[in-house]
Each structure stands twice: as C-alpha cells, then as structure tokens.
Structure 1
C-alpha cells in the first residue's frame, strides 16, 4: 500500500508539472520552476514563500518570550511566516518605540527560523486611521462629514438655516436655495433639506472615528504615520526581508444618507459637466434621468477611492519593492455602500486578496462567504489580467472552536480550486485570556487540541500553493460583471430589491458555469477602461486576451 501511494504521488507530481510547463511561461516577477526534478524536490518540502502565514494576533503585553514561543510553535507546524496583527486586548502601545523594538525582535527571530514576518497596517481594522493617530494629526480626515441625509418637506421649517444644503424642485431640476432661504419662507413646494452625517466616535477607533478615505491627503498621512517607524527600524530590509503589507477592509461607507466628501460636487462637475446638486434627489427617487445620475455618482466615488487610496498605496509599495495585499468588503456586492467595484481595487494590489470566513456553504446568495464563487473569481480574474502571481485568502475566521480538519480541508480546497494560492489563517492568538477567547475562533496555536497534527494540513496547502503559483491560466471567455448595472438601481436610503435581483441572477449564472466546468474570467469595466484593447482578433484586458466575451441579460431595472 505504501508503494502504491508513493507511485501515485510521483504520477501526480509529474502530471501537474507537465501541465504547468505546457501552459506556463516565465515571469519577470518570480522565476517559475520548469524542470521536473526541481519541482519534485520543491513539492516534497515547499519553501517558506509557499507556506501558510496566519494573522498573528498581538493582544496582550507582548514580550520577547511570547514572540519566541509562538514563532517556534508556528514553525513546528509548517507555517512559513506570519502577519503581525494588533487586535483588541493589546497592551503594548501601537506604533510606539516598544512596538518597533518588539517587531524588530520578531523579524530577527523569524530570520533564524526561516520565516517571513509581514506588516499588518492597522490597529485592528478597518485600515486607514492608524489607531487614531491620523485623526489626531489631521482633524479634517474625520470632522468634515462623510454623508448627506435628507428630509423632504412642503414648507421650510424655522431651523432650515441649520441644514447644509437646501434644494427646491423646479420642473425636472432642483434649485440650490441654501443662500436665499428667506425668499421661500411660507412658500409651499417640494424641498429637500440635507444635513451632514459623521462617522461615530468609539474606543475601537482610539476615541475618534473612522476617517474619510476620499479626502485628499488622508492616505498619504496614514502611510506616513504607519510606515515611518518601520522605515527607520528596517531601512532597506523593507521589500527584501519584510515582503509586504496587509490592509484590512478599508471602505467608503456612509454614516447616514448618501456618501459625501467635501469636494464631491466640484469633482463631479469637472468629470461629468453638470452640477450634482441640481439632481441630488435622484440618488433616491426614480424620476427623469435617475439611472444616469446614479451611474455617474457611483463612478465618481469609485474613481476617487482608487485615486486617493489605492494608487498612493500602490505607488508606495512599488517604491519599496513590497507587495500590497489584504482585502475589502467583497462580500457586500452588489451593495455599493463599502465601495463601488471590488475588482477595480484589486488591480492596484501587487498580491490581491479576499477573506473567506465562517464554516458554512451557500452558492445562491451573492453576499455569502464559502460558496460565493463570484468573490473568488473576481480575485483570480484580476490576477490573471494584471499578471499577478499570488492571490491570498484570509480563511476560517469565525468558524468556531469545533471546526475540524475535514472542514479546514474542504473549505481550503474549494477556494484553491477557484484561484487562491496563499493561505492566511485567521487567527493565531497570543493569548485567549478573558473575552479574547470569543474573538473569531478557531485559534491556530497550541491552545487548540489538534495543533500537534496541523502540519499535515499546512504541508498539503503549501504544495498546492507551489503548484498553483506556476504557469498562467489562459481562459478564452470573458464575462462582464454587471457592477455598473447594479449602480443604476442602488440607493443609500431606500431598499435594494432590484439591486439584489441583479446580484442573485449573476451569482446563479456563474455558479452554473462552474458546475459545467466552463473556464472564464470576470471583467471589470473600470479595469477595461484602463487596460482594454483589441489586438489580433482578441479582446485584451491587461495581459489576457479573450476570443469570446459576454454580457448577461439581467432583470430589467
């Protein structure tokens, strides 16, 4: 039986290697193993870059002894590195001198063990506020308002002057009467009164609130605050010893009403040639050219998110030769509240990523976790088109203390089949004292009773990561994701029935394609805008050419 198993493994390796050599071509980013003997040797014991790296939770007063203990444990069970992840319970001051001393100690300990230590860019999440330091140093990052909530009235109230923006409907347009309210006192009509809304303060955000990532300069301030200490501590080791940075769920959600930022109206006017204020109620009401307005509005927000968050971050990592990884709130699609286009954001990450949490399976709902084919295909499609070799998934969080090896393998296999090739376990807690034990288990440390056998799983996914990082996936079919169609029906205020109908229809369609073993990539119109071209009878998006491309017929909007 042992001989047969060894023979099977050799046959499997040979078949996979032959396939990789057939479809693959050399990449300037990462040389790919060509020769069978080299690949076979690597397959037996994959190197650290193909091994799992968990979110390593610092949630106590961190000591050198804790660092040594945990890294030895992780190494013993086949991990190749870790992402240092500050999380609730942390006593060591974030971004303090002590923080960087301990981080330096971790990197040095990792070197001795042959492990990569990665940066996680926030004190918990979502990324962008630097544990409250951005708010403290740049008050305009949070105190200008991030939303506009409206009230519709027939006559102006006595406190109308307290509103930020007052509109009066005149025919098919809306007149800004904010500066001349007295002229309309006691005059009946259709008035739309807008108040600013603000992200709420909380201990989670260091006593401040989340920040407005659409505000000019916020990302640059965030990077300056977060990365200056790492630059001083590590210098040229950033990009060599420290491979990259993980960002977690940055978003542009509204605290109430439509999403707004101080220069939104100016940017919109310049981009589309008309005044958004004159049609602002059409982001809620369905009259006149409301679909065009909603498209133009969401496109503006999406491009601002790219230009003011993704591009500066991408440029920083390019300059430092680091890989930017991490994820957004991709499970929210087709809801647009966190961001207008997941795929458009991934295009700016050197190693794009998603998360896949909990221990459930749902193929039918576009907001599901495991079973959500769209979410993984967005990731793998962008990687194919942009020529990115690695794709990461933050996996297993919230699955519970009773999640089993069978669950781990089933869930991991599913996402690897669809295009993931870097396993990032959620979470490896430094301690589970007190309420910490409820922080999204399972826990990938010796606290868990199965820990001494976990290396088998890590070796398995390391081998998959090695093989699935070779070659190129070449698909002939491009399916345009109906993200901009969903924009036409989305409202920040009213229900999203039609938007969800679009999401469910698309989810069912691509799920059926997967079950029929049809190979395809998804297409983002934002990426196509920048990367699309026709060449030699094929439609190219970045580095991928397609012979067939499709738009799905969707429910009428």
Structure 2
C-alpha cells in the first residue's frame, strides 16, 4: 500500500445538533426518530476532520485518503492547507485538486468544506492580500505608551499622539511637539507598533481586518476568484467555509498596549462625541473617567470588527448559499483583547463555532477548553438568539497523547 504523507490533524470538528434540526431535508419529530438516526447518522451529523494538505497533493492521494475517511465513519472533510504544502496555494493546480476532492465527495457521499486560509489566522490569503493591498498592513495596528519627564521626541510617521499632562487632564500637543521638545513636565508619547513580518504570512505580516476594504480584498482573492469555480456545488457537496482565528490581537503581541487603526479617532468621535486621543491614558491607567473610556473604546473596535469583517463575509455566504463557520481567537474571559465580544460575532455565522483543543479545564484562563461549559453556553445562547440551529466545535487537537474516551467526553 502506497504511503501517503498527508498528515491528518487530530482536530475533529463536530456539528452539535438539537432535537428539531433538519436532517436530510426533514425534521426530527420524535425521540424514536432521533434514536434511529443516532445509530447511523447522515453525513451532516458525523465528525469532519481537518484534512491537512501539507505536501505535493495528487489525485491518487485524494482517492485513498477520502476512501479511508469514509471507512472510518467521517461525514466530510475540511481541506486544510498546512506548512509543508508543495502544491502552490490558490494556484490553478490547487483549485483543480480541490475540485477533484469535491467530485470524489459527491461520488462517495461526503461533504467537502473550504478552509479559507493557508494555515491561520484567516484574513491574509496566504500573503496575497498584503501583496495586492499594502495598506492592509503597512500603517501599523497598535499603540505603545511611553511616559517622559523631559520631552525628547523625533517626530516621524511612527508618532501617533503626544499628550502633556495638565491640572485638568491632558492636552494634545502632537502638532507642536517640536516646540515642546526639551521642556520638563509629564508627557505621554504614543508610538505606532507594527507586527513583524514572517514567512508564516508569506513574507508579510498579518493584516488589519478593521481597515476598510481588507475583507473585500480577501473575499475577492479567496472566494470570488478562487473557490467560486465550484459554485455549482455550493450548499450541496460543498456546504460552506471555515474561518480560523481571525482576530485583532496581533498588534498587542509586539509591545503594544492598545489596538489602533487609521480612522479610529474619527470613528470614536462619531459614536461617543468626544476625543479619544486626549483620553488614551485612561486605557492604561485608572485616570479620568477610565471605565467609560475603556467601554467606549472596546465597543468601537467591536463595531468596526462586526461591520468591516463579519458582516461582509456573512453576506457573501448568505448570498451564495454557503454556511460560514469556524471560530475566533480565543474564548478567554474576561479579556477583551482578542475579539472584544465573541457573541456579537457569532450571530453573523450561519454555523458559529468554538475552539476546544486543550485537555485542561481552566475556566479563568485561555487554557480552559475541554469541559469549559461557559464557552459552549455562550455559543449556544448566541446561536439561539440568532436563529442558528447548528453550531460547531473544533475539538481534541491539543488533547495530548494521554487523551482517552473519558477525557473526550
């Protein structure tokens, strides 16, 4: 038997169901019907592995792998690009092989889902978005605060705001910083921060998902010019698209204290009627009306994330008969630095999901995944309110070698 090098990730994606959900275009009318289907469920209710494409992909390899998935009881696959991939991502060859997998799925009764990124996090299209739209990443995405007792600032594009502390609060002196240089006092200097470039992002950095036009560029490259070659199978053999960990946190990792985007000042002013710039210290220190400022700041970022990322993607899927699924990064609570309010994002997914990889119960931290009822209840509550019958969990990928049926349960 020919050895196939495609690594099958341990992450198993399980669609959760409710009693009255649709199964094969019908509704479950009784527990007896549920019991009969539970023993041999249709493909929509079976586990779906993340199928790693991480070498030279061939039709022969696809044939073998998909037949093995079918024999193991899987209901479908998410075609998941991973490091090691030799077949060029989003090339004509890539889409030919993806279509081959879709047709094989149609032949053997398995669903073939889109995984919409070259690894993760979703948004950069394997480097194509920043390559075609430099404004998607070059402006910086964070701010770092520095306090100076004697002002010494060489003004450049990296300086976002300079404040001087007064008896009444803070004064914005950004436009006259050269006149203030050398003077003593208490000065707050806010510099832009830039995520580092990485081969992971195709030699670029992650993109700013709340910068106008970035989501549309991503959809144009990945979906419209790409997977729409399989549009005839949308909503059928090809049920939908999985987004993995789209986030606004990346800037925080490079010494930033706060998230920033070029039109943040204007968007904040329009919503709340006051200037965020002179209130920036309240995001770091308990000064001024800091509780209100922090609420208004995170609410602004959330609304931009919903309006500029979630809504365009959701509308594309709705228009084209696709289910948008996947999950955000992370489900930690009460930190607001990843997605700000995941419930507000869940409702825009036709099949919202969570990430339950780790075999460790830690409800107070980011490691809390297996057994984290809060995250599951949060997901299900949002889905109920939005009228979404199906949800999804990416599960077991970080469970460790000691994982067994008990810990899985």
If the length of structure 2 is used for normalisation, what is the TM-score?
0.89
Selected match of 2:73 from 70, 78, 95: 78
Structure 1 segment 374-389 matched on structure 2, within 5 A: 374-389=374-389
Shift, 1:202, TM fit: 0.4
1:190 aligns with one of 186, 197, 222? 186
Residue 263 and residue 272 in structure 1: after superposition, are their counterparts in 2 closer, same or farther (change >3 A)? same
Structure 2 counterparts to residues 54-133 of structure 1, below 5 A: 54-133=49-128
Query: How many angstroms apart in 2 are the aligned matches of 1:148 and 1:332?
Result: 22
Mark the structure with the bigger radius of gyration. 1
Verify: 1:140 aligned to 2:132, yes or no.
no
Structure 1, residues 66-104: CA drift from partner, whole Å, max 9, x if none? 101110110001001000000111111000000000001
The farther-off stretch of 239-248 and 151-160 is 151-160
Change in Cα spacing, 1:158 to 1:308, as seen in structure 2 (3 Å) is closer
Partner of 1:533: none
Out of 219, 235, 245, the position equivalent to 2:241 is 245
- Equivalent positions of 1:391-540 (< 5 A) are 391-404=391-404, 406-407=405-406, 410-411=407-408, 413=409
Q: 1:68 to 1:312 in 2, by over 3 A?
A: same
Deviations along 1:503-551, one digit per CA (max 9) or x if unpaired, are xxxxxxxxxxxxxxxxxxxxxxxxxxxxxxxxxxxxxxxxxxxxxxxxx
| 1:28-427 → structure 2 map (5 Å cutoff) | 31-34=26-29, 38-157=33-152, 159-160=154-155, 163-253=159-249, 254=251, 255=254, 256-362=256-362, 365=365, 367-404=367-404, 406-407=405-406, 410-411=407-408, 413=409
Question: Could you say which residue in structure 1 is the equivalent of 2:4?
Answer: none
* Residues 1:284 and 1:250: Cα distance change in structure 2 (over 3 Å): same
Counterpart position of 1:456 = none
Give the strand-richer structure, 1 or 2: 2
1:40 CA drift (Å): 4.9
Scaled by the length of structure 1, what TM-score is found? 0.66
| Structure 1 Cα separation of the partners of residues 326 and 382 of structure 2 | 14
> What is the rounded CA distance, in whole Å, between the counterparts of 1:286 and 1:201 in structure 2?
34
**Secondary structure at the counterpart of residue 304 of structure 1:** helix
What are the superposed Cα offsets for residues 147-202 of structure 1, whole Å, 9 maximum, x if unpaired?
Answer: 11121112211525563321112233322212112332332221111111011100
Classify 1:171/1:41 alpha carbon distance in 2 versus 1 (closer, same or farther; 3 Å).
same
Structure 1: gaps spanning 5 or more residues: 1-18, 414-557
How large is the Cα RMSD of the aligned pairs?
Answer: 2.1
Q: Distance in 2 between matches of 1:281 and 1:329?
A: 26
Q: What CA deviation, in whole Å up to 9, does each residue of 1:346-405 have, x standing for no partner?
A: 01111010011132334565751113221111111111211211111001012234433x
Q: Is the 8 A contact 1:172 1:288 kept in 2?
A: no
More helix by share: 1
Distance 2:94 2:287 in 1: 55
> Contact 2:215/2:312 (CA < 8 Å) preserved in 1?
yes
Instruction: Name the CA distance, whole Å, in 2 between partners of 1:103 and 1:230.
Output: 10
Q: Secondary structure at the match of 2:64?
A: helix
Contact 2:24-2:42 at 8 Å conserved across structures: no
Which residues of structure 2 form unaligned runs of 5+? 1-17
Q: Which residue of 2 aligns with 1:495?
A: none
- The change in CA–CA distance for 1:207 and 1:185 in structure 2 (over 3 A counts) is closer
C-alpha distance in 2 between matches for 1:117 and 1:28: 18
